[in-house]
Structure 1
């Protein structure tokens, strides 16, 4: 494989991994502990 192909695959894997982790944190079980600041301070 070319070194450019390895670099592109590595960066793509990191981006997909980070995106998956962010979605899991926001909508998965850890997301239950998050609070919505707009709901906390209703007028």
Structure 2
């Protein structure tokens, strides 16, 4: 394979992995531990 193709696939896979992990953290089971700072300081 060409070097540019390998680099492009590596960047694409890293981006997809980061996006998947972010969605899992935001909406999956770990989201139960997240706090909303705006709800903590209601006036």
TM-score (norm 1): 0.92
Q: CA RMSD in A?
A: 0.6
Q: For this pair of structures, how many residues does the alignment match?
A: 43
Q: Per-residue deviation at 1:31?
A: 0.5
Misfit runs of 4+, over 2 Å: none
Alignment pair present for 1:17 and 2:34: no
Aligned to 1:26: 26
